[in-house]
Amino acid sequence: MPIYKMLQEINLKNFPEKISVPKATGEKLQVYYYGPKSYDNQLALITHYLHNKELTKELSRQQAIKFLREYIEYKFPKIKIADNILHDPLQAGLFGDFFHIPFPDPINYRFTFVDLFAGMGGFRLAMREQGGKCVFSSEWNSFAQKTYMANFGEMPFGDITKEETKQYIPNNFDVLCAGFPCQPFSIAGVSKKNSLGRETGFKDKTQGTLFFEVADIINRHRPKAFYLENVKNLISHNKGNTFKVITDTLEELEYSIYYQVMDGKAFVPQHRERIMIVGFDNRLYHGHENFTFPELGEPTLKIRDILDDDTDPKYTLTNKLWEYLQTYADKHKAKGNGFGYGLVDLNGISRTLSARYYKDGSEILIPQGDKSNPRRLTPRECARLMGYPDNYIIDSVSDLQAYRQCGNSVVVPLITAVSEQLVNAMLMENL
């Protein structure tokens, strides 16, 4: 039985509903576990501890050892558990599956980072490429957590807005990475919410304030640098006032700020513009860091370069759906609107892949000749379109969830190129 399922079966009645966590001031803060998801919290603690024993906070270490004991007692009730097994269960042949993964942390790492709003792990792949070791990850979506764990052997913690989640962030780390949720700032998101009479940006009560959670963590831990990513529309939202609030907040925290809108088409056959925001601690670098964004070239890959030779017929549009999309496009074309499906040029690049791709695939359709309806991209092809390597595990979740995760992800090679410049500047290797 998979460890994840076993942890669900552990009797949780003896786990504390709350614990007291001492703060630096000597005060005590009550930390509450969040009920039915407790086993996920345990798995996050266990996997973070196993991967980062020497970097884990004492609170996290103590709780992880407690959860390990609970698990081992459940699994092996007749075995006496020695302390050395709890402190190094790998030596006892336990939990090896967490390390038999496609993308382990580098052994001789150059720096540490945290991965917030981690999604399917695009930032982690990029930072890993620069020799970075992830010491904390957070992602609230359970399906994205599953994909992340399949590839990195680590269950991300859940809701980063909760104090009990923030308490597990290590005191010291070098870089904070966050592709914080972009729906309140995206062109599509703003249009949809305006039509519903809802507020957008920082006035959005569910997602718009998440930037301030990032700012709070930066303020508490003061990493040497941070790397944030969001939609292009962030700059112009609310006549530029939203972005001014963001930059003013980061500068008030005494960080120098660099930002640039960059298009992933230089690396993948997809037009995907996003804003990159990089910052360095002025208390440490005094504004003398030597950082520049990388120069981007023209597209080199074509859509046909990421396609499989053979695909399952299930990805071909049904006659009913194909007729609907054509009728819908004709109707809006007659009104002078640009809405419609995107039948791609196989020798060109695609539109931007969105999280709604699972619905009908209309923004990126692959032609299959006159005798067949076009088809959607497969989840593997979507992953390639975002720059994920083929050994990345994409099928640990359903196609629907894989489409959503890819549409919400970052273009990995673009993030990698910016990360290289950031890390070199942070480590003063380009001075």
Active site residues: 182
CB 360 within 8 A of CB 354: no
Q: What is the largest CA-CA distance in the chain?
A: 76
Reference 181, options 419, 410, 418, 387; nearest CA is 410
Strand order in the sheet with 225-231: 132-137, 111-116, 175-178, 225-231, 273-281, 255-263
CB 342 within 8 A of CB 365: yes
Reference 112, options 423, 424, 399; nearest CA is 423
Reference 355, options 291, 414, 297, 401; nearest CA is 401
How many Å is the Cα radius of gyration of the chain? 23
CA pair distance 78, 222, nearest whole angstrom: 47
CA pair distance 113, 172, nearest whole angstrom: 9
CA pair distance 428, 423, nearest whole angstrom: 8
CA pair distance 331, 410, nearest whole angstrom: 33
CB 155 within 8 A of CB 162: no
3-state secondary structure of 113: strand
CA pair distance 128, 416, nearest whole angstrom: 9
CB 4 within 8 A of CB 41: no
The phi and psi torsions of 258 (rounded to 5 degrees) equal -130, 135
